[in-house]
Amino acid sequence: MKIAVVGPGALGTLLAGFLRAKTKEDVWLVDKSPERARRIREEGIRIEGMSSISVSINTSANPKEIAPCDLVIICVKSYSTEDVCKDIKDLVNDNTSILTLQNGIGNVQVLNDHFGADRVIAGVTNHGATLLGPGHVRHAGRGDTIIGMSNGKILGPMRDAANLLTKCGFETKISKDIDSVIWSKLVINVGINALTGITRLKNGMLIQYNGTREILRSAVQEAVKIVKRKRIKLVYDDPIQKVESVCKATAANISSMLQDVLNSKRTEIDYINGAIIRQGKALGISTPVNEVLTNLVKTIESSYEEAEEMN
């Protein structure tokens, strides 16, 4: 099986490294930067932390030289999904399945629009990773990976993808209601990601302070109002308890949004807390806490240069 992992960020690097080390498949890592692709191709992937892996890997910034793949795994930031759909057309033919393991909501619809709902597999993973440099990542947490199709079908390629991910160390389950799974992950991210980006605290510290704990709860409560209005069934019974338990379980983790802030990069705030704002406006539900969190993160993004000048 030929597999392309698109996006050499924390998750993409972690997954590509696991696939390369633990399977005999033809694995490629696709990068938009030719220089970074060259470096990873020459130096390989190095994983530390909960796992210790060092492997060489085929890496390219030119999808044409890879040719069509059996499975394309999308690990880019949500704001890049539309552009990636155009960039990866040479990786895709009539037999290609596309799997997204991205944060936020909206990615599946974009992929469906480009490639068709019968070939797009949606998913979430609870593995945590911190990018330390090109091809260098710290495996910071383990967890289930859940995949499914928005139309509820369970097709052979999806079973193949689940078996492949499980084989490489990403234990994977199949869900007939993947939308509920994606929303369940979104609610958790709504409580954690923006707050870590603003406060620069690791996940576990958010529930150690009364202030951040109360803001976390309020942001989650707003998201839950939308979930109930949309009649989405979450995969857990108590959302606030779940988010706080995730904070404890991933106490030492640096969230993806905090990683972006620390590296002065654009965040996925529009696809997490920002998505709650948009959904709230459409449904007539007030979301003031998520609006404040979103505006603060956007201000941080806009002031990276000024912050650097003060250091």
pLDDT at residue 72 tops 90? yes
pLDDT band of residue 154 (cuts 50, 70, 90) is confident
pLDDT at residue 259 tops 80? yes
pLDDT band of residue 163 (cuts 50, 70, 90) is very high
Q: What is the pLDDT of residues 110-129, one digit of tens each?
A: 999 999 999 999 999 989 89
pLDDT of residue 308: 77
pLDDT at residue 310 tops 80? no
Q: Which runs of E-coded beta strand occur in the chain?
A: 2-6, 26-30, 45-49, 53-55, 58-60, 71-74, 97-100, 120-125, 128-133, 136-141, 145-148, 172-174
What number is the average pLDDT over the span 35-61? 97
pLDDT band of residue 141 (cuts 50, 70, 90) is confident
What number is the average pLDDT over the span 158-185? 96
Domains, the chain, ordered by start: 2-176 (3.40.50.720), 180-310 (1.10.1040.10)
Percent of the chain with pLDDT strictly greater than 70: 100
**Considering 77, 185, 202, 242, which one is annotated as catalytic?**
185
Q: Residue 84: what are its φ and ψ, rounded to 5°?
A: -65, -35
Q: What is the pLDDT of residues 80-103, one digit of tens each?
A: 999 999 999 999 999 999 999 999
CA atoms within 13 A on the CB side of 107: 33
pLDDT at residue 30 tops 90? yes
Q: What is the pTM of this model?
A: 0.94
pLDDT of residue 301: 97
pLDDT at residue 211 tops 80? yes
pLDDT of residue 86: 94
185 is catalytic: yes
